[in-house]
Amino acid sequence: MSVSPVKRQKMESALDQLKHYTTVVADTGDFNAIDEYKPLDATTNPSLILAAAQMPVYQKLLDDAVAYGKKLGGSQEEQIKNASDKLFVLFGAEILKRIPGRVSTEVDARLSFDKEGMIQRARRLIDLYKEAGIGKDRILIKLSSTWEGIQAGKVLEAEYGIHCNMTLLFSFAQAVACAEAGVTLISPFVGRILDWYVANGDKKTYEPSEDPGVKSVTKIYNYYKKFGYKTIVMGASFRNTGEVKALTGCDYLTISPKLLAELSKEHVKLTPTLSVKEAQACDLEKIHLDEKAFRWHHNEDQMAVEKLSDGIRKFAADAVKLERMLKERMFSAENGK
């Protein structure tokens, strides 16, 4: 016999209620957080891996990645690149032991404008997972949502059966192009959109339903559902639980451990704010974007242009920091002794 909604509300946290309407994903490289909140999927990025790699508990993974890079040989640069790719896969493989679904692993942001480079790196990551006994069905390859990244995703999906998660997505143009490319999943950023409007406008606080990031994801979700696109919408980059709750009903939401903890302690009633039925009744019109139209429409959105370039730079900077850490481990001992 099913529990009445009133009783269930008393029993369940906001996080447990959210899981009835939305697939909850953990945005972390920390295994303990994944064990605690039991998400279906998990997402990582260079910044999260850099943070996790500095924790004492994960030093064995660093040592294994270093040993792998050295074993393959080649120039210092090649050894570091191989060790870095291996480290991302080692973290992903450990995460997959703790979740039933998929892990997202990011291609180097420095390749964001290199379609062929992204395709090659993505295939390399999938090969490394295969060596670890993990099939491509459990991996989402994260690519920057540049025009080149979106076209790389199109090729990886259609020709290689590699599932892609398009990240650093801020504009409606990016979302439309991703849908037309037939990628598996997009990660429209919520909090970073809010950050831009707070930094660049007079208004400093927003109600969740008026939050520019929430409104952006809502529009994308409605467009995808109205026109029957299969691409999963996964809201990402949240600043507070209000944003998360305002997107209840979105396909997926990837949430940091801090906000997962807050949601697990909240006991307010959640109702879906996004639904396929409402989306199909919305008045959005279908558009098609070739490269010229994409670049124009994306360029018209100042926030999206600035946040995409900023996001690429930040992920690239953290990739460089991670490589420096690996380089020190791989070569400083032999140089200094």
- Domain membership of residue 335 (yes or no) is no
- Domain membership of residue 6 (yes or no) is no
- Domain membership of residue 112 (yes or no) is yes
More reliable by pLDDT, 332 or 231: 231
Domain that holds residue 229: 14-328
**How high is the pLDDT of residue 334?**
59
CATH number assigned to the domain comprising residue 144: 3.20.20.70
Q: Hey, how many other C-beta atoms are within 10 angstroms of the C-beta on 286?
A: 9
**High-pLDDT (> 90) share of the chain, %:** 95
Residues 14-54 have pLDDT tens digits of 999 999 999 999 999 999 999 999 999 999 999 999 999 99
Alpha-carbon distance 292 to 286, whole Å? 17
- Domain membership of residue 69 (yes or no) is yes
Question: Has 142 been annotated as catalytic?
Answer: yes
User: Does the structure show a pLDDT above 50 at 230?
Assistant: yes
- Domain membership of residue 225 (yes or no) is yes
Q: Hey, how many other C-beta atoms are within 10 angstroms of the C-beta on 97?
A: 9
Take residue 272 and report the two structure tokens written for it. Answer: 């879906």
Take residue 26 and report the two structure tokens written for it. Answer: 């953990």
Give me the catalytic one of 81, 142, 154, 307.
142
Q: Mapped to the 3 state alphabet, what secondary structure does the chain carry? A: CCCCHHHHHHHCCHHHHHHHHCEEEEECCCHHHHHHHCCCEEECCHHHHHHHHCCHHHHHHHHHHHHHHHHHCCCHHHHHHHHHHHHHHHHHHHHHCCCCCCEEEECCHHHCCCHHHHHHHHHHHHHHHHHCCCCHHHEEEEEECCHHHHHHHHHHHHHHCCCEEEEEECCHHHHHHHHHHCCCEEEEECHHHHHHHHHHCCCCCCCHHHCHHHHHHHHHHHHHHHCCCCCEEEEECCCCHHHHHHCCCCCEEEECHHHHHHHHHCCCCCCCCCCHHHHHCCCCCCCCCCHHHHHHHHHCCHHHHHHHHHHHHHHHHHHHHHHHHHHHHHHHHHHHC
Domain count of the fold of the chain: 1
Q: Could you tell me the pLDDT band of residue 6, with boundaries at 50, 70 and 90?
A: low
Residues 200-221 have pLDDT tens digits of 999 999 999 999 999 999 999 9
Q: Is the Cβ–Cβ distance between 80 and 323 less than 8 Å?
A: yes
Residues 127-162 have pLDDT tens digits of 999 999 999 999 999 999 999 999 999 999 999 999
**How high is the pLDDT of residue 1?**
46
Alpha-carbon distance 53 to 62, whole Å? 7
Taking all residues of the chain, what is their mean pLDDT, rounded to a whole number?
95
What Cα–Cα distance (Å) separates residue 283 from each residue in 248, 258, 290? 21, 36, 23
Whole-prediction pTM:
0.94
- Domain membership of residue 333 (yes or no) is no
Q: Could you tell me the pLDDT band of residue 332, with boundaries at 50, 70 and 90?
A: confident
- Domain membership of residue 8 (yes or no) is no
**How high is the pLDDT of residue 70?**
97
- Domain membership of residue 9 (yes or no) is no
Q: Label residue 216 left, alpha or beta by phi (over 0 means left) and psi (-120 to 50 means alpha).
A: alpha
